[in-house]
């Protein structure tokens, strides 16, 4: 049985990836930086899966060399999913950039030294669609790269994802030549959560469910279900033609107001906001609602993309966005997060 390493095992995407890998008959090891969270992981996975799940967990932090050698021991493939994804903007961009970039390099170097066949890296659509200003192509594809130095159209997080992915490609085309790399670039990831400790992307669902905003920011984003993101990682691992490629992992584009329509229809008892907030007001709200700061570069912008490669090379037909939104909301309610 081949052994697979999943970094950041406690996370939203990683949890689904772990269960799908187990379903496909692989043995899975995970890394976690928090022993407290790691201690609950098998219980959370078991509760969600409805069967006993017990994976091995190794302690490793992106900010330190410790643990990575042990983590990759005897594994055939690595999914490097861990990266800082805070709900709030940090004081310094380096708080995200340094662990994202140096952590990716630590994982790649350990994988190379161990003779791992391929690393699948979880990057982001953020590494494709930011920093273009007025020059942004109408339809973004995998040939496009964000420009992390244009600070007016980036956040610390979007910069961290671009810089980390670039460093990974530079490594495998230089010092790390011979190690295979495939990259997944997801848009906003929704779908079922397993615990109340939820990824930042779920704020786009939990905030309206909690009635935290009077109306919706003029925000447009691509949606993908976490179950498709997990599947994309596995297809990118097993398909020979995925080596050396990046894949935009996204389905339908939605306006935030449309998320509200889906939620209102599915949960008629909840008070879901209606209508659009003027962008100047969102900027004002962001002063007292820090998660909103992250979306300021998005206001009024539509970043359209092609998911052709996801379909044709990885064979994934994305779950419709309304289903992903509903699945998020139902699970957030079930685990008591909203
Ligand atoms: P989560 O916050 O649920 O998962 C992030 C994981 O990374 C957690 O396990 C976290 O550990 C770990 N991590 C963060 N910082 C460190 C560190 N310094 N050392 C070790 N581990 C660390 O988010 P997602 O599952 O949504 O995100 C997973 C990946 O997907 C990230 O790379 C993110 O950038 C990317 N992504 C996510 C999207 C989304 O919409 N959700 C969209 C596009 C990309 P801990 O649990 O201890 O905090």
Does 31 score more than 90 pLDDT? Answer: yes
Asked whether 17 lines ligand 1 (CB < 6 A), one says no
Task: Kindly list the structural domains of the chain, giving each domain's residue range(s) and its CATH number in brackets, ordered by start.
Answer: 3-192+222-252+304-319 (3.40.50.720)
pLDDT in tens, 201-217: 999 999 999 987 789 99
Asked whether 286 lines ligand 1 (CB < 6 A), one says no
Residue environment code for 265-276, b if the CB has 16+ CB neighbours within 10 A, otherwise e: eeeeeeebbeeb
pLDDT in tens, 37-81: 888 999 999 999 999 999 999 999 999 999 999 999 999 999 999
Does 84 score more than 90 pLDDT? Answer: yes
Residues in the chain: 338
Cα 307 to ligand 1 centre (Å): 23
What are the residue numbers of the active site?
161
Q: What percent of the chain has pLDDT over 70?
A: 100
pLDDT in tens, 93-104: 999 999 999 999
For residue 9, what pLDDT is reported? 97
Write the residue with the smallest CA distance to atom 39 of ligand 1: 189
Between CA 338 and CA 335 the distance in angstroms is 8
Question: How far from chain centre, in Å, is Cα 172?
Answer: 22
For residue 28, what pLDDT is reported? 98
């Amino acid at each position: 049985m081949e052994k697979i390493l999943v970094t950041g095992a406690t996370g939203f995407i990683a949890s689904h990836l772990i269960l799908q890998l187990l379903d496909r008959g692989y043995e899975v090891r995970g890394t976690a930086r928090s022993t407290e969270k790691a201690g609950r992981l098998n219980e959370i996975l078991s509760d969600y899966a409805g069967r006993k799940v017990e994976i091995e967990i190794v302690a490793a932090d992106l900010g330190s060399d410790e643990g990575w050698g042990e983590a990759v021991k005897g594994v055939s493939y690595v999914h490097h999913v861990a990266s800082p994804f805070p709900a709030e903007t940090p004081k310094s961009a380096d708080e995200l950039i340094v662990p994202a970039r140096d952590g990716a390099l630590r994982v790649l170097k350990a994988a190379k030294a161990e003779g791992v066949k391929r690393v699948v890296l979880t990057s982001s659509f953020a590494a494709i669609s930011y920093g273009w200003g007025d020059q942004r192509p109408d339809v973004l594809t995998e040939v496009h790269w964000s420009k992390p130095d244009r600070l007016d159209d980036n956040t610390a997080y979007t910069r961290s994802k671009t810089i980390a992915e670039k460093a990974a490609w530079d490594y495998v085309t230089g010092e790390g030549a011979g190690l295979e790399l495939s990259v997944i670039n997801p848009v906003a990831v929704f779908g079922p959560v397993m615990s109340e400790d939820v990824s930042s992307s779920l704020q786009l669902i939990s905030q309206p469910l909690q009635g935290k905003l009077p109306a919706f920011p003029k925000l447009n984003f691509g949606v993908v279900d976490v179950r498709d993101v997990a599947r994309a990682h596995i297809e990118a691992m097993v398909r020979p033609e995925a080596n050396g490629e990046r894949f935009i992992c996204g389905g339908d584009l939605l306006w935030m107001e449309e998320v509200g329509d889906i939620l209102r229809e599915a949960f008629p008892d909840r008070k879901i906001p209606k209508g659009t907030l003027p962008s100047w007001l969102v900027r004002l709200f962001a002063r007292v609602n820090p998660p909103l700061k992250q979306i300021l570069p998005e206001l009024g912008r539509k970043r359209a993309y092609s998911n052709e490669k996801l379909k044709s090379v990885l064979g994934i037909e994305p779950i419709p966005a309304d289903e992903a939104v509903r699945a998020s909301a139902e699970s957030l309610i079930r685990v008591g997060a909203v």
